[in-house]
Structure 1
């Protein structure tokens, strides 16, 4: 008697994680599926319901993230005006690996987004849990993106903010170094708001926090949770302190270990001194301050996230020619304090490197790689500082990979270069946001090779 063919095995539920898992699940998930590129893992969810459940399980997401982090070097993210379909309002995003802080030979295209102009796009240099918040300053719209998969939502409309016209008077940093936070010319009208993306570890949810000035002059703060009530921004729990009025418009805060941090503009001559760093707890939704020694407070010009620590940047370019980084030990330290991470004397650098750095308005730390600190600039470059050898070299320039129009040689606000975190992080459309943009994913083998050295243009109007 002929035996009937064996029935196909079904995916079974794991006792430890409470999620559907493949047969011999740990072998299939941990040794095979976790090696898939992000986009492929997302596509494989469509195979069947069981595969979708397994590839969206907490076990798979954790295992994929751990394997990817162990095998990956830091990756740069950069964006420039796209050329797809001749659309001048499109923006293309690229990523390239910086192995041991060395110059990358090629970059791969992640995706091209229609209807967002690179000229008006504002991004934080550091992603948050695989997600990136994009602010379209021209339309005053926010988008939450996974730049690895193209998955995104458009955030619901928020409260109108006051507009600043004409351009603000640029503040002075320190006694000998007039450094502007905002490059000129900037778009007008300029909305008086600043928005950042953070993650609440207590709830396992991202939050978008917007600090803004109402049209009646009142300072306010609202929060949007992608997995919260549909279509709703809500007021934050805490009271907004009066000094929050000194935030820098459009400049996003820095997220570090459960907190958002804003660098506030310094008090003008004759005004009472203010706290320079405003903090916001993602869990408690309460504002606070970070103590900064007066001498450092007077020369700070930017904040950054350097290897998981809050980093203050100072740049005394006029006389001393010193660029330096201080890192803060953080709220988890018994006695939080600031310490010097590095100090670079620009006057002692080779002439070519010194000339390039001296014209930069923004120099922001990204991360460390191969014992070097990577510094991104507003002119779409990345320099590597080697503390042991006390040397600085340029390892990346966006113009070596893609065409950059003369009008985009200087980022309008902060940077067009940051870090890329390729991980599975879903953006759910059922939580008040909706997918509105046309996104074209780059092919896995779609790379742009570094070009031969080209002539560098300097537009004095953008200094």
Structure 2
């Protein structure tokens, strides 16, 4: 009863304001509050589902840098037989004390031995993949859609099919979400060893809820999960045109015209991309990159941004005990996994480290992905 009276009072107060102002206020609220407020009246409930309100709400959270973080780590011990993975919400109350909340269970992917790969975000939506199975997930509304299996024909003579390098993005012309995946078909020789493979690229459309085959690019995309590689309708992967294992270019896919293209790598100091790692990310609406050496106790991180050409934004010199950069916190600080498998926050301006008291049992198994809340639905 008290809750009902509170809602009635809220509704009366809000209806005394101009409607434009009311919805401007509502578009700044968390998704959890808006879900509750759907019961105020049918007009509010239907308005929260309009593209205009959904877009305004998501942009408000992006503009205010109001981000949420999903964190993956391994639990158990260092032995592969006793190691499993869990997903958590990484949160902080005051910007100082970090904690892991809500051990996330995903339908269809609840296999603790195999952690799903996460791609995105795109308008607050994430794409989840494991063992060739795919789903779209809105962590704000908890909506989850399992994608159908592809009906694209596979070579009947292939002995094994492998799915790799997912791409996930938004087509702003048709208002459609699309998922791209690279498919390799493996063939055994007379001795039982895999000696040959053919490649294929499948593209899924949410609007059509169907797959189709598209042309294969001339270079091979390399892994990109757990990094925000979707920028303004284009998805990016580090790529390789040879068989030496290093990077030779960046492969991109335009979600509107459904075409591949390539662009050059950023410059780097010393060595080659056989010795350097390249992480691509969305940097304030532009394609960004972090380069750093694979080995060494003192690693220098270079941060680049693409705006017509590559520009080096900063160099973080000789950072000790860094194993892997994971992504940015809200204020430009950098999440890092250190050489002891601990999560730390590094402030480039002061060069100070803050150990967040979170660790993994298996070094190199941490991942973080950030997203802004969204009301986007898959229906």
TM tier, shorter chain? 0.7 to 0.9
Q: Find the residue that maps to 1:212 and give its secondary structure.
A: strand
Q: Is the 8 A contact 2:234 2:255 kept in 1?
A: yes
Shift of 1:150: 0.9
Question: Following the alignment from structure 1 to structure 2, what is the Cα–Cα distance between the partners of residues 266 and 146?
Answer: 35
CA distance in 2, matches of 1:234, 1:42: 35
Does the C-alpha gap of structure 1 residues 256 and 63 become closer, same or farther in structure 2, counting only changes over 3 Å?
closer
Three-state SS of the structure 2 residue aligned to 1:191 is strand
Unpaired stretches in structure 2, ≥5 consecutive residues: 1-14, 76-82, 188-196
Give the one of 299, 313, 316 matched to 1:343. 316
Which residue number corresponds to residue 178 of structure 2?
Answer: 207
Q: Say whether the 8 Å CA contact 2:277–2:291 is kept in structure 1.
A: yes
SS at the partner of 1:42? helix
Greater share of residues in strand:
2
- On the 8 A contact 1:261/1:279 being kept in 2, the answer is yes
Alpha-carbon distance in structure 2 between the residues aligned to 1:111 and 1:51: 30
Identify the residue that residue 290 of structure 1 maps to in structure 2.
263
Residue 310 (str. 1) matches residue 266 (str. 2): no
Deviations 1:423-461 (A, max 9, x none): 222122xxxxxxxxxxxxxxxxxxxxxxxxxxxxxxxxx
- String of CA shifts for 1:39-75, please: whole Å, max 9, x gaps: 3423544666433321112332234334434555443
Match of 1:221 among 194, 201, 204: 201
Partner of 2:9: none
Cα distance, 1:280–1:253 mapped onto 2, change above 3 Å: farther
Supply the distance in 2 between the matched residues of 1:133 and 1:205 (Cα, whole angstroms): 14
Give the total of aligned pairs.
Answer: 340
Q: Which moved more, 1:126-135 or 1:308-317?
A: 308-317
**Residue 95 (structure 2) pairs with residue 95 (structure 1):** no
Corresponding position of 2:47: 54
Are 2:232 and 1:257 equivalent residues in the alignment?
Answer: yes
- Cα 1:317–1:256 change in 2 (3 A) is same
Q: Helix, strand or coil for the counterpart of 1:133?
A: strand
Secondary structure of the 1:127 match is strand
What's the CA shift for 1:23? 8.4
**Aligned: 1:143 with 2:104:** no
Q: Which residue number corresponds to residue 22 of structure 2?
A: 28
In structure 1, the gaps of 5 or more residues are 1-20, 83-87, 163-188, 429-463
Deviation string 1:228-272 (CA, Å, 9 cap, x unpaired) is 223x11123xx322322x634988882223221111357456x9x
In 1, the alpha carbon distance for the partners of 2:69 and 2:50 equals 28
Distance, in Å, in 1 between the alignment partners of 2:50 and 2:350 is: 46
Q: Is the 8 A contact 1:95 1:420 kept in 2?
A: no
How do residues 322-337 of structure 1 correspond to structure 2 at under 5 angstroms?
322-330=299-307, 333=308, 336-337=309-310
Query: Could you tell me the TM-score, scaled by structure 2's length?
Result: 0.73
What is residue 13 of structure 1 aligned with on the other side?
none
Task: Decide whether the 8 Å contact of 1:91 with 1:113 is kept in 2.
Answer: no
Q: Report the Cα distance in structure 1 between the residues aligned to 2:364 and 2:297, rounded to whole angstroms.
A: 26
Confirm or deny: 8 A CA contact 1:161 1:215 kept in the other structure.
Answer: no
Query: Given the superposition, is the C-alpha separation of residues 161 and 114 from structure 1 closer, same or farther in structure 2, using an over 3 Å criterion?
Result: same
TM-score, length of structure 1 as denominator length: 0.61
Classify 1:103/1:395 alpha carbon distance in 2 versus 1 (closer, same or farther; 3 Å): farther
- Separation in structure 2 between the aligned mates of residue 56 and residue 379 of structure 1, nearest angstrom: 46
Q: 1:177-196 maps to which residues of 2 (within 5 A)?
A: 191-196=162-167
- Matched ranges for 1:25-424 at <5 A: 25-31=19-25, 33-45=26-38, 49-69=42-62, 73-79=66-72, 92-97=87-92, 102-109=95-102, 111-116=104-109, 117-124=111-118, 126-137=120-131, 140-158=132-150, 191-215=162-186, 217-226=197-206, 228-230=207-209, 232-236=210-214, 239-244=215-220, 247-248=222-223, 254-265=229-240, 267-268=242-243, 275-292=248-265, 298=273, 299-308=275-284, 309-316=286-293, 318=295, 321-330=298-307, 333=308, 336-346=309-319, 349=320, 354=321, 357=322, 360=323, 363-367=324-328, 369-375=330-336, 381-395=342-356, 397=358, 399=359, 406=361, 409-410=362-363, 415-424=366-375
Give the alignment's Cα RMSD to 1 decimal: 4.0
